[in-house]
Amino acid sequence: MLAEYTRACLNLELSVRQLAQFEVLGDMLLDWNQRMNLTSITAPEDIVVKHFLDSLTLVKVVPQFDRLRLIDVGTGAGFPGLALAIAFPALNVTLLDSTAKKLRFIQSVGEELQLKNVRTIHVRAEDAGRDKSHRASYDIAVARAVARLPILMEYLLPLAKPEGQVIAMQGMTAYDDANSAAKAIDALGGELFTIEEVLLPTLDNPRYLIVIDKIKKTPRQYPRQPGTPTRDPIQ
Ligand code: SAM
């Protein structure tokens, strides 16, 4: 099913090996989910569409992934970053989360699937954005279901390189979200590039990819201390 969906919706051809890797990922997700809270999505068809296919929709706005450095902030059980790492072996993927047990799941999947293009970092997004080894270091900084957009901008834009991009995977309120984040985008050195609508099989509501270009360095005062973006978002 995944092969037909990626071909039809995304014009993306997955190899037999990659399809087998996605199958193992789905099995491991369900197995580990019995012992820890990784996902509320558990029907096999939903895992394929809402986790795997949804993650891969980034191909709609990124013309080629080879040799790019991508960071997935608040990756949880690895979405979208882990799915992208399977589909694009030449993409260099960093999976960031503040919850260590979720990262242990990802590490275990990485070992099982022998993924060489994945690393995990256990850190708050606000701390990573101030750390020289991550700040302004990524071609693409992406997140799904992590925080409201003005807050998310303070997590993502400091991590993107100048001329890199930030991609926020949003739901039905994407246009309102983008408006509410306009001030944060500008203050953090970004500029709204496009909002791409994405339709997925079996789902009634479209999803949206909000793409922001990093056009200037993020000012030194951002990101602020952990928790401050949530308590006092730029808006
Ligand atoms: N992106 C995944 C997905 O769509 O399936 C997981 C979404 S989950 C609802 C949100 C994740 O973001 C959690 O794993 C949480 O630990 C992480 N998170 C939230 N705020 C964070 C922060 N400031 N720094 C790092 N991780 C954060």
> Cα separation of 2 and 49, whole Å?
8
Residue in this structure with the two tokens 């019995």, named with its chain if needed: 34
144 Cβ below 6 A of ligand 1: yes
Q: Ligand 1 pocket, 102 CB below 6 A? A: yes
| Residue 94 vs residues 30, 78, 86, 119, 200: alpha-carbon distances, Å | 23, 10, 13, 5, 26
Distance 124 CA to ligand 1 centre (A): 9
- Each of the 235 residues of the chain gets a pLDDT tens digit; together they read 999 999 999 999 999 999 999 999 999 999 999 999 999 999 999 999 999 999 999 999 998 999 999 999 999 999 999 999 999 999 999 999 999 999 999 999 999 999 999 999 999 999 999 999 999 999 999 999 999 999 999 999 999 999 999 999 999 999 999 999 999 999 999 999 999 999 999 999 999 999 999 999 999 999 999 999 999 999 9
pTM over 0.95: yes
Ligand 1 atom 5 nearest Cα: 79
Token pair of 126, please?
A: 């606000």
